[in-house]
Amino acid sequence: MLKRISAIVVFSILLISISFAQDIKKTGGLARLSAMGGNLYVMDPFFNTVNTAWNGVYNNFILADLGTTTGSFSSGGFGQYISGSFSAGRSWTFGGILARNDFPGVGVALLDPGANSTISLPFSGVVSTVNGLRGFSGVIALDNNVVLMATYKLRNTIIGLGLAYAGTTNDATIPAVGAAPAFTSEGSASQLGFNLGIISDITRNIKLDIAGTLLLPSASFKNSSSGDTETKASQTYIGVNARAFWKVNPNLRFVPIITFLTVSGTIDSGGTSTGSSDFPSLTSFAFGGGLNYKIGDFLLAGGVLFSSNSLTIASTSGVPELSNSATLFPIWNLGAEWQLLDWLYGRIGYIAITGSTTLETPASDTAVSEFVASFFGPSQRGATLGVGFRFGDFSLDAMVNEDVLRQGFNIVGGGGPTFFLITTSYALP
């Protein structure tokens, strides 16, 4: 179970002065980062999902992520979302994100974190928890998250604020018929999300990128049956991400990274019983650093991280408290990007994680058994490939299924997907 925490670390890190305009090309997205080994050490518009202040850098810009393939020639790619940022005067930008419940990240657009299979938290979401206690789907899962964003520029600093909301209802009213009494039921779920971010040139050579995210998902169900009480579940998700780009010389930047994540919550069983319990509580932090080297149209970026993660499962009747943990080191994210033609970029990367997990299971009412084992991740670790197409202000970036190279001429007329993940973007003139 703790092995899945490695995905949290990778994606949670996935994650201004006038000089920013010289460093930024308004193109990129998750496909670009993934093709460069899940790269954390570059500037990219995807990071507006972690720090809303990036909308002030990538202004007058629209990004549409088409998601990952769900099968040969199938529609509805996994993890699709759209993002936009539009200038209003010299200092302000306004924009937002529209995201589904399979959003592939951990920022303000993430819905019901425990239910998202991308980050795979080691416990269920609030909606599935309430429905599980009730024994049927009385609460509709959250979807279609709306994130509103605004940024303001103060000389060398951009401040960003994001506000997100999603909600569902599932109510029923049945009048009395004959001997059957009237019946009502109310099922609901909602989530508020907040993000506050800063991007600043704190010196001529150091750019700071820091943001915090707060998510508050909750769900409840009750009906008018005699003796029925409300079933409720709620969580608090707090994430902090910080990076710096320290210019060592005109071509080389050192990029330190620090992240912190904590998730906790409570459950009221409701129904015909009473009682409350705690969700498993998760605490995760990571730190490390890497290099970003750019000369001409060639970019080489990568680094290594250390991560520590702990999960505490509260004691219940007959079961002692369980403490599980995972240590990940090293986490390698390496990648390169270069211009092949005026309209074509090539990318290559490498991603690999080595870790150790400690898992406790109950042996009796007061004793636990402990298991320690090594693991490696992510499941599709190793080399990554990608391409980027530039047609004026329009860009299409894709992560390539590297198996197409091994297939040779068999790819002509074959049934396998050439691109695994696609992101499109357009920079408004």
Q: With bands split at pLDDT 50, 70 and 90, how would you rate the model's confidence at 21?
A: very low
What's the confidence (pLDDT) of residue 11?
A: 43
Tokens 């991400």, located at residue: 241
- DSSP character for 114? G
What's the confidence (pLDDT) of residue 15?
A: 39
pLDDT at 77 over 90: no
Q: What proportion of the chain, given as a percentage, has pLDDT over 90?
A: 72
For 397-409, write each residue's pLDDT tens digit.
Answer: 999 887 666 665 5
Q: Answer yes or no: are the C-beta atoms of 270 and 221 closer than 8 Å.
A: yes
Q: Answer yes or no: are the C-beta atoms of 283 and 259 closer than 8 Å.
A: no
SS (H, E, C) 20-72: HHHHCCCCCCHHHHHHCCCCCCCCCHHHHHCCHHHHHCCCCEEEEEEEECCCC
What's the confidence (pLDDT) of residue 273?
A: 65
Cis check for the bond before 122: say yes or no (omega within 30 of 0): no
CB within 8 A of 53, min separation 6: which ones? 16, 151, 158, 159, 160, 197, 198, 199, 209, 211
**Which range is least confidently modeled, 194-203, 292-301, 346-355, 410-419?**
410-419
Q: Taking the CB of residue 236, how many other CB atoms lie within 10 A of it? A: 16
- Residue 11: which H helix or E strand, with range? helix 5-13
* CB-based burial, 216-229: b 16+ in 10 Å, e otherwise: bbbbbbbbeeeeee
Structure tokens at 272: 């015909």
What's the confidence (pLDDT) of residue 23?
A: 60
Q: With bands split at pLDDT 50, 70 and 90, how would you rate the model's confidence at 19?
A: very low
pLDDT at 46 over 60: yes
For 382-397, write each residue's pLDDT tens digit.
Answer: 999 999 999 999 999 9
CA dihedral in degrees (32, 198, 81, 341; nearest 10)? -30
Q: With bands split at pLDDT 50, 70 and 90, how would you rate the model's confidence at 282?
A: very high
Q: In terms of C-beta density within 10 A (0-12 exposed, 13-18 middle, 19 or more buried), how is residue 371 classed?
A: exposed
- Global pTM reads 0.90
Name the residue with higher pLDDT: 122 or 27: 27
Name the residue with higher pLDDT: 287 or 6: 287
Q: With bands split at pLDDT 50, 70 and 90, how would you rate the model's confidence at 74?
A: low
Q: What is the mean pLDDT of the chain?
A: 89
Domain count within the chain:
1
What is the rounded average pLDDT of the residues 306-319?
90
pLDDT at 148 over 70: yes
Cα end-to-end distance, the chain, whole Å: 48
Residue 37 Ramachandran class (φ > 0 left, ψ -120 to 50 alpha, else beta)? left
What is the rounded average pLDDT of the residues 359-372?
92
**Which range is least confidently modeled, 168-182, 229-243, 327-341?**
168-182
Closest CA to 269 of 260, 261, 278, 256: 278
DSSP helix/strand/coil, 129: helix
Q: With bands split at pLDDT 50, 70 and 90, how would you rate the model's confidence at 16?
A: very low
The neighbouring-strand residues paired with 160 are 151, 197
pLDDT at 304 over 70: yes
Q: Taking the CB of residue 277, how many other CB atoms lie within 10 A of it? A: 13
What's the confidence (pLDDT) of residue 236?
A: 97
Cα–Cα distance measured from residue 345 to residue 301, given in angstroms and rounded to the nearest whole number = 15
Q: Answer yes or no: are the C-beta atoms of 279 and 235 closer than 8 Å.
A: yes
What's the confidence (pLDDT) of residue 308?
A: 96
Range of the domain at 152: 2-427
What's the confidence (pLDDT) of residue 317?
A: 80
Name the residue with higher pLDDT: 69 or 208: 208
Where does 286-374 have alpha helices with state H?
none
Cis check for the bond before 320: say yes or no (omega within 30 of 0): no
What's the confidence (pLDDT) of residue 9?
A: 44
User: Would you list the DSSP string of 84-105?
Assistant: EEEEETTTEEEEEEEE-TT-SS
Residue 355 half-sphere exposure toward CB, CA atoms < 13 A: 28
Q: In terms of C-beta density within 10 A (0-12 exposed, 13-18 middle, 19 or more buried), how is residue 367 classed?
A: exposed
What's the confidence (pLDDT) of residue 381?
A: 78
pLDDT at 142 over 50: yes
What is the rounded average pLDDT of the residues 108-137?
87
Residue 227: C-alpha distances to residues 178, 224, 244 (Å): 22, 8, 57
What's the confidence (pLDDT) of residue 180?
A: 84
Q: Answer yes or no: are the C-beta atoms of 167 and 191 closer than 8 Å.
A: yes
